[in-house]
Amino acid sequence: MPEWVRDDHHIIFTGPTLAALFHEQSKHCNLEKLDRVYLLHQTKLDRPDSQPYLKEVIERIITARNQAGAKIDGEKIQWVPIEGIEDPTNHEQIMKLLEKWIDSDDDNPFDFTKAHIKQHIEINLSPGTSSMHACWMMLHWSGKFKDSTVMFFQR
């Protein structure tokens, strides 16, 4: 994606996830129609954890977009470290860890106990490996998201 947002001191380049969330042509460009955004990330990579860098980039994007008149609530963004992914192509390992997160009591991202509320879940398949993409689809096909409407997209 080409450069598309500037703040006073930086030209900010984005990848697929940030473009899907903040690009002016994205339906989520101001996050206003979203209740929450979960940014999942591996904790043990061959390179240092990129979460601090991404947080800074997101803060700069929100600042630049708000200076241009947008009203973006950055509090909707939640960082979720997924610990234990040793091989980003290991379907079994990825499935187990994603299911653990979805079912967790700590920060249960999907409250399926409220039967009267039908959730709408959108999953960006652009980042990550093909194995990770397949795991999200298998979770959906296996009924893990109950009666929720689930949409997959790539940006």
Question: Between 91 and 81, where is the model more confident?
Answer: 91
Which whole-number Å values give the CA distances from 112 to 63, 95, 103, 116, 122, in the listed order? 34, 19, 10, 9, 16
Domain limits, the chain: 1-83, 85-155
How far is residue 77 CA from its own chain's centroid? 8
Which residue's structure tokens are 């947080």? 55
pLDDT for residue 11: 54
**pLDDT tens, position by position, 89-118:** 999 999 999 998 888 876 667 776 665 567
CA-CA-CA-CA torsion for 35, 75, 13, 45, nearest 10 degrees?
A: -90
Beta strand ranges found along the chain (DSSP E): 5-6, 11-12, 37-42, 77-82, 120-124, 149-153
| pLDDT score of 81 more than 50 | yes
Which whole-number Å values give the CA distances from 154 to 18, 19, 126, 145, in the listed order? 12, 10, 5, 20
The mean predicted confidence, pLDDT, of the chain is 77
**pLDDT tens, position by position, 39-69:** 887 776 545 556 677 777 788 878 877 887 8
The answer to whether the predicted template modeling score (pTM) of the entire model surpasses 0.85 is no
Which amino acid type is present at position 142?
A: S
